[in-house]
Amino acid sequence: MDIPNKDNQFPLAHYNKLVFLKNIISQPNIVVGDYTYYDDFVNPENFIRNVKYHFDFVGDKLIIGKFCMIASDVTFIMNGGNHLSKSISAYPFAIFGGDWKDAMKDKTYPYKGDTIIGNDVWLGYNTTIMPGVKIGDGAIIASNSTVVKNVEPYSIVGGNPARLIRKRFSDESIQILLKLKWWEWDIEKITQSIKILTGNDVDALKNLYNM
C-alpha cells in the first residue's frame, strides 16, 4: 500500500501552502488530529495568527478532529476576546490599573468553553468560529459564515449567523455514520474503503462492515 504519511508537513509535492496541520502546531492549547489539512493562500503559518484572543491564562482549548479540511482565512475567536456584555459598560476598566484595577472584583468575563471541531469537517473559506462552538462530525460550514452556535453532525450551515442549509443525509444514515466513525479505523482499512467513502451509498458501507 502507498499511503500518504500523516506526519508529512507538506503532503503535496512542490507545494508549500498546504500542510497536514498537526505538524506545524506546537501550542499545548491547540490539538489537531491526523490528516486534517490547512491550505493558505500565502503561508500556512497564518493558521496560528487566525486563532485570536487565545491566552494561556484563560485556559480554553481549540480541539480539531481528524480528516478536517480547513480553507484559507478561517478564524477562531477564543474566549480571551470576551468582554462583559450584560453590564452597563463593556469597557475593560480593570486592565488599565490605577483606581480602575478592582473593576472586575467578584465579576468574571463570559466563558463559553473549548472550541471543538469534529472529524471530517469542512470549514469553507473565510469562516469565523465563535468561542465555545462545537461542530459535529461530517459538518460543512459554507464560505464566509460566522458560526455562533453548535452545529449538528452531517449538517451544512451558512451565513452570518450561520443557519442550517440542509442535512447531508437522512437521520438514519447519519446515525449509521456516527456509529461507523470511519476516521477512527486504521489507515489501511480507510485506504481500502476510499471508493465507498467518496460515494454516497451509506447502506453499502453499513453492509460491508456488517452493521
For binding to ligand COA (CB under 6 A), which residues are involved?
69, 71, 124-125, 140, 142-145, 156, 158-159, 165
| From 49, 83, 107, 181, active-site residue | 83
CB of 69 to ligand COA, least distance (A): 6
Active site residue 54: no
CB of 82 to ligand COA, least distance (A): 25
Nearer to ligand COA, 117 or 156 (CB): 156
Q: What are the angstrom distances between the C-alpha of 42 and each of 16, 23, 38, 95? A: 9, 18, 12, 35
Nearest-5° Cα angle at 43, 10 to 76: 100
Cell of residue 165, nine digits: 442549509
Give all strands (DSSP E) within the chain, no chain letters.
18-20, 30-32, 37-39, 51-52, 62-64, 69-70, 75-77, 115-117, 122-123, 128-129, 134-135, 140-141, 146-147, 155-158, 163-167
Nearer Cβ to ligand COA, position 103 or 148? 148
As measured in angstroms, the least distance from the Cβ of 186 to ligand COA is: 26
Q: Which amino acid is at 86?
A: K
CA distance linking residue 60 with residue 78, whole number of Å: 7
User: Phi, psi at residue 74, to the nearest 5°?
Assistant: -70, 135
Q: How far apart are CA 157 and CA 123, in angstroms?
A: 10
- Least distance (Å) between residue 142 CB and ligand COA: 3
Name the DSSP letter for residue 88.
S
Least distance in angstroms from the C-beta of 83 to ligand COA: 28
Residues annotated as catalytic are 83
